[in-house]
Amino acid sequence: MGVRGFKQLTPIPEAQRAVLAALTHVPRAAAVPTPTAVGKYAAADVVAPADVPPFDRAAFDGYAVRSIDTLSASRTNPAMLKLVGKALPGRPHQGALGPGEAVEVATGAPLPPGADAVVPYEEAAAREGYVEVYRPVPQYYYVSRRGEDVVAGEVVIRRGRLIKPWDIGVLASLGIKEVPVYKITAAIISTGNELVELDDAPPPPGKIINSTRHVLEAMLREVGVEPHYMGIVPDDEDVIYERVREALREHDMVITTGGVSVGEPDHVVSAVSRLRPSVLVHGIAARPGRPNSAAVVEGKLIAMLSGFPVASIVGFEVFVKPAVLKMAGAAEEPRPVVKAVLTRRVTTPINVRSFVRVRVYRQGGRLYAEPLAVTGSGILSTLTRGNGLLIIPENREGYDEGDEVEVVLLGPIE
């Protein structure tokens, strides 16, 4: 795919295919302490160094027994076992269990040698140094067997997995102190003579605050990427070229905001073109988010996003997130989707993917979706007023009032 004029907007699927195919950069991997790995991507398969559990242990509170001793037990004719001790988690019973003996055990306690089953309290009763067992228990009844959970050598975390809180539980249980994760960094370069930083608010007349930077920083962190903000650069092709080149050397991807547009100043695409990209997509068939563009240079993504927060989010979803997932070998996390009845007709252009922010609410046991704005990449407040996103595919010109539509939920339903 060559350089395209802005008038021929590239359809999103085609743009994504071209960019992802050219993306060959592999980010740096580093071992980090296991508890800090949540929200990062595993950079290699992680293998269990030992069995879990490391020993046979009680899976219930009760009595450790030899199952054979309970063979003919019943409520009318209980097995009478001699209570010879007690085992707690971390405090094993000293010595083995002989025939006709029982040891009181708490969940998690190591099973004494000789024992092969646990009789829960409910199915037994202790009387004067003896335990009456009311039923036969099979071998390994309420026993967590050594290695039944994880066997040494088994892969417990696959490369590319986004590490979740419970994964930390598995890794920590295995005594794995460090995990290899991808350290993905993204440079953010904000372009625009009109921009001032939030710290400099209120802005002078005609200037606006660089809010898009903060949206992108937060979204990058949510997908496990560390943002590196490189400041505001003026609408000057040479300056942008130098800054992007510098960022590309240091980081796994570069995100620019602003300066992509059909009119002047369109310095960003010109600047990036000088880096001899293998792919350059100039504008996508998205609404909002038309100016979002992307290039691949030396196997790395340069995402040239709109300067408007709402449009930049579309560009983030189209280019940045898929690139992060590809670099990390990861699959996309599921998103909450509901079916809702559209309260008003929405008309969108054909051959364009439209992102319509909606407010989803419940009424009379049904869910409704009220469209908030079809156009207007500048309309920020729909982000806080709405709690859902209706994505209208390229082959539709919208939906009618009363249509049942699928909405991606971005927040709680009122």
Q: How many residues make contact with a second copy (CB under 8 A)?
A: 106
Nearer to a second copy, 178 or 246 (CB): 178
Interacting positions 201-220 with a second copy (CB under 8 A): 201-203, 205-212, 214-215, 217-219
Instruction: Tell me the closest approach of the beta carbon of residue 314 to a second copy, in angstroms.
Output: 11
Instruction: Tell me the closest approach of the beta carbon of residue 111 to a second copy, in angstroms.
Output: 11
Instruction: Tell me the closest approach of the beta carbon of residue 229 to a second copy, in angstroms.
Output: 10
Q: Is 126 in the site for a second copy (CB under 8 A)?
A: no
R_g over Cα of the chain: 30
Q: Which residues of 262-287 are buried (b: 16+ CB within 10 A; e: fewer)?
A: eeebbbbbebbeebebbbbbbbbbbb
DSSP annotation string for 355-384: EEEEEEEEETTEEEEEEEESS-TT--THHH
Answer yes or no: are the C-beta atoms of 400 and 371 closer than 8 Å.
no
Instruction: Tell me the closest approach of the beta carbon of residue 298 to a second copy, in angstroms.
Output: 29
Rounded to 5 degrees, φ, ψ at 257 are: -130, 145
Nearer to a second copy, 27 or 92 (CB): 92
Question: Which span (16-24, 145-153, 244-252, 393-401) binds a second copy, by CB under 8 A?
Answer: 145-153
Can you tell me which of 29, 80, 341, 380 binds a second copy, judged by CB under 8 A?
Answer: 380
Interacting positions 153-192 with a second copy (CB under 8 A): 156-157, 161-162, 164-173, 175-177, 192
The contact pattern for a second copy, residues 248-287, with x = CB under 8 A and - = no contact, is ----------x--xxxxx----------------------
> How far is 276 from 270, CA to CA, in rounded Å?
10
CA–CA distances in Å: residue 248 to residues 90, 177, 280, 320, 405: 53, 33, 16, 15, 41
Interacting positions 24-83 with a second copy (CB under 8 A): 34-35, 38, 50, 52-55, 57, 59, 61-62
**Six token digits for residue 185:** 């960094």
Can you tell me which of 26, 44, 383, 391 binds a second copy, judged by CB under 8 A?
Answer: 383
- Residue 212, classed as helix, strand or coil, is helix
CB atoms within 10 A of CB 5: 9
Region for 295 from its dihedrals, namely left if φ exceeds 0, alpha if ψ lies in -120 to 50, beta otherwise: beta
Nearer to a second copy, 72 or 264 (CB): 264
Interacting positions 300-329 with a second copy (CB under 8 A): 307-310, 313
Nearer to a second copy, 339 or 344 (CB): 339
Can you tell me which of 21, 152, 331, 350 binds a second copy, judged by CB under 8 A?
Answer: 331
Instruction: Give kind and range of the element (H or E) at residue 265.
Output: none
Can you tell me which of 28, 91, 127, 276 binds a second copy, judged by CB under 8 A?
Answer: 91
Q: Which residues of 367-402 are buried (b: 16+ CB within 10 A; e: fewer)?
A: bbbbbbbbeebebeebbeebbbbbebebeeebbeee
Q: Is 332 in the site for a second copy (CB under 8 A)?
A: yes
Answer yes or no: are the C-beta atoms of 15 and 115 closer than 8 Å.
no
Question: Which span (68-76, 199-207, 239-247, 392-400) binds a second copy, by CB under 8 A?
Answer: 199-207
Instruction: Tell me the closest approach of the beta carbon of residue 291 to a second copy, in angstroms.
Output: 8
Nearer to a second copy, 135 or 164 (CB): 164
User: What distance lies between CA 167 and its chain's CA centroid?
Assistant: 13
Q: Is 384 in the site for a second copy (CB under 8 A)?
A: yes
CA–CA distances in Å: residue 99 to residues 83, 124, 171, 280, 297: 12, 17, 38, 78, 74
Nearer to a second copy, 4 or 86 (CB): 86
Question: Which span (22-30, 132-140, 379-387, 392-400) binds a second copy, by CB under 8 A?
Answer: 379-387
